[in-house]
Structure 1
Amino acid sequence: MEFLATLFHYAPTPMAVFQGEDRRIQLANPAWCQYWNVRVAPVEGLLLTDVLTAGQAALYTQLLDSVGVAGPSETTRTITVTVERDGELEERYLRVVTTLTPSLSPVCVGTIITDITETVQAQQRADRLAREQEVHRWMMREALDNSPVAIVVAGSVRDERTAELIDFEYRLANRETNRLSSLPEGEELVGRRMLSTFPGDIDSGVFDQFKAVVETGEPLAIETHYQHGSIDKWFYIRVVKHSDGFVQTTLDITPVKEAEAAIEQQADLLRSILDNSQTAISLHNAIRDPVTRQVIDFKTVLANKRARESWGDRVEQYMNQTLLTLRPEVAGTPEFNRYVQVVDSGEPAQFDHGFGSRMYSINVARAGDGIVLSSVDITRDRQYQRELEQINAELRRSNEGLQAFAYIASHDLQEPLRKITAFSSILTSQYADQLDASGQMIITRMQLAAERMSALIRDLLAYARIGNQHTSFSAVDLTQLVRDLLDDMEITIQTAGATVKVEPLPQLWGDSVQLRQLMQNLLSNALKFKRDDRPPVVQISSEQIPVSQLPATLLASVRATPAYWLIHVADNGIGVSPEYYERIFEVFQRLHGRNQYSGTGIGLAIVRKVAEQHGGLVVVKSEPNVGSTFSIYLPVIE
């Protein structure tokens, strides 16, 4: 017995025995007292609440009560406790074995504590690492699939008898690869072979180049033109060996090639324009003193045909000698000083200069560390001016005629659309029994297309009218305008289950029809782009702000008015991400497909145009899945 008492006393594991219903401490070894930071000695005969904190005592009592005559005689539980270590509290994980000894009288309950904090924390770290690795794998896949570069990994396919490399099989391909491959929707490149998927790689020599990479280990970087079937593209391809295969990155450079061709075409066009221009244009680089860095001369580096013709027999001298070598008398003159000032300040200059019996207008602009000279013969300037004014008048008349024609043509497009709708309705009602499901579906799609076209034409006409019509503005009661609008939209609002709250709104100086279009489009959008999990709520309010609080984009064109009205239309709909704030105001810009939300993509463009017509601005602030607030700045009535 003495041996067991000694073992109990010196055991490094915290152990204690409790007796009676009130769980008084009968035995507790030093390890138990040290673990719980018990400073009372001796502890025998004391209650748990005498030596432990209230929270620790309550937890310990629960452990002691977990065994009993009616229940198990021994339990093992893992608990989390807060203990004091070196004057600081820390969280520890314990495995506590609680044992009932009913044979003793009174009944005793013993506990043995094993601190498993390090084990639990190690497991938590392992779990966290596993989660992080899973996230990293997900991020890598997302990075691959969202990369604008096509990335593919392929393995070699070899002849079983000769081991000759005869094809490649794709084992990994990101989303961009599948897109560039022009495969049917739902099909992927993985598992396919190169030569059956891209037979054009044989004739183009691409397969032989890839084969050489695998067999020699030398990487490959090429620009190649791939043309097969409906595919006609330029690609920049980089290939490196990977095991018995390769990793290929492909960038579609078709737009770059097309841009290069366009740039070259534009360069040719520009050279042609410059050489056929009646303006003499030349480029001159500045020559600077190596010590003071001041401009001391100019060297001609480029000249168009007109400039070369004006130089006559001295063209070779002008192109190969400096200005002051050819014309030393120019040094120190106002002409030369103007050239230097343009280079140093960057501010262009213009002056008239006479040569013989003719007068020229000289324009000087900085280009790099030099100047561009443009000289125009202005002797017949007045005659040219009259001709130009006549041409401008004809252009204005032509533009006005074109606008009128476009309006009439767009307006007349509605009539054939109405006939399409009417005839399709006749087919549906009178010949339904003669049409199968496919025929009825075609008619339905035709009707929907006609309706979309009709809506598009109406919206385009509304958009065109805003910019072309010269309206006479008047005072508009915006509160009454919104009330009338809500009456007209009553059924739409009820169908959406929406609540529209309208605070007092100001009187504005403007066109009532346009302002109604503005408010109707904003309110329609708020009802259309609603969330499925809650009914839409729209709040329309206003406030007056000083000019100093206007957005910077509006300050440049601000009217002479002391204040502006700021009208808010807020909703609790699906919201818009910040990167689309500008895009939604552009014509035909849609963030969702027609299957999700109807419309033509013109509504917000009309809102912006109406605001601008009234000397104002519209901006949006939004949070996805929370809602959007459209803010319209309009001048206060003067």
Structure 2
Amino acid sequence: MQHPVFAPESGLSMSQEQASLWQQVLQHSVSGLVGFIAERDEAGQISNLRYSFINKVALRDTFSIGRQADEEQVIGRYVTDFFPTIRGSVIWRTYLDVIETGTAQRLEQKYTLNGRDVWIAQSVAPFGQDGLLLSYSETSELHNTAHRLTNQSALLNEILNSSPNAIAVFEAIRDGAGKLVDFRTTLVNRMVERLSGLPAHSFINTQLSQIHPLTPESFERLNNLLITGESVHVEHFVPGASVWLDVTLTRLNDGFVATLQDITAAKQAQQQLETAIQNLHRSNQHLEEFAYVASHDLQEPLRKIVAFGDVLQHQYADQLSLSATDLVGRMQKSANRMRSLVNDLLTYARLSNKPDGFGLVDLNHLIASVADDLEVTIQDKQAEVTLDTLPTVWGDTVLLRQLFQNLLSNGLKFHQPGQAPVVRIEGHVATPDECRTYLSATDASQAGRRYALIDVVDKGVGFDERYLDRIFTIFQRLHPLNQYVGTGMGLAICRKVVDIHGGHITAISQPGHGAIFRLLLPMQ
């Protein structure tokens, strides 16, 4: 015959079989379960708690450190037998409060179990008359995860607030039918405060329409952002603050993230650049006007001076004294030099604009053609001109012809007294190191771009490299006019041509040891 057993938690009696099943359920629970019965003193105050039930989990956790016990050794014993110092602790006061008030409580505390620190969540509930049921489980994983999330959140907040851009997050506000009506601000970083001059909390839960009035067009654009997920990028001017903002909107769930960058300085620089470009165009226009005037109005008086000089030399030669004949000859030389100077100046002025006819130029063919044009000078001076095999470059044929004609003429002109000029033109594809040496960092780093290195070498009089910058400046001469005729424009024109091609020109020389004019020209 089975005897009924009283179940305090339900107030019902159950059979021995049911009680056994109930015990198995409690023993196999993944949570620790402990039952206590309060004992009171003569004054009715709770003096101790006696173990009435403990499952395997609680037995393992409670008695596995420094002492071994089984259920029979624990049931009926006082808590203070195992934990003498428990009175006065937070958990003790909680136990008593639950028994006295009949109100369940929950608390989470850190303990040391099996040599490690763990977090335990405890539920303490009244259990019958003066009874207490303690249910607990380890929440270390959850607590550690929450701790990590808190740290990550703090880190992300710090990153967010360290951003040089203003960042704000908005979530959609929809009506009962799910239709979009507005957006609500959920997060802003410090840069929003700096741009607006308002504290961050004043934006939270504020509707977007209150911050920035939404036109039908802008509202439709935001609605499309939520539908398509395609980012929106605009530049916006804030009149009151005189600030330009670069705004990027990116969908986030049912809302978006707004990233705002202050581009006022860049806009001002762009405006200054546009003004400078306009001024440059205006200056170029004036230069073209000057070129027209110079080619017509300045050339005409020179032609007349030369013509009148020719008349004096040929028709009135017998009427001129030796002194007058000398003066007329000097006048003719000066007029012709002035004509050459004006022509060179015109050539330089016309180089202000980059031509449209860039293409592949075979330097071997081009320089051979230049040498043919200078054949008379080469023969008169008995010069030796040699040309190595050269790379093909990318440029304008007319400008490159002018460049090499000036350099070759230079080599023929500035030869050692009493010696025939010797000029050699050689070249190869520039190495990366050579590009880095002679080109700007921007040009040298252009992916896939190659350059030809061309040397125009002569055995002439040379020059002191202290004057290297001067020789490429207009009207600069290092040698007296009575020794070497010229206008001082040739090398300035060379530099202008090379600059138009995005290349580089320099020179290597010593007085009396000739010169090397080194060019880097793009090959594509």
* TM-score, length of structure 2 as denominator length: 0.47
Larger gyration radius, structure 1 or structure 2: 2
* TM-score, length of structure 1 as denominator length: 0.39
Considering Cα pairs closer than 8 Å and 6+ residues apart, tell me whether 1 or 2 has the greater RCO.
2
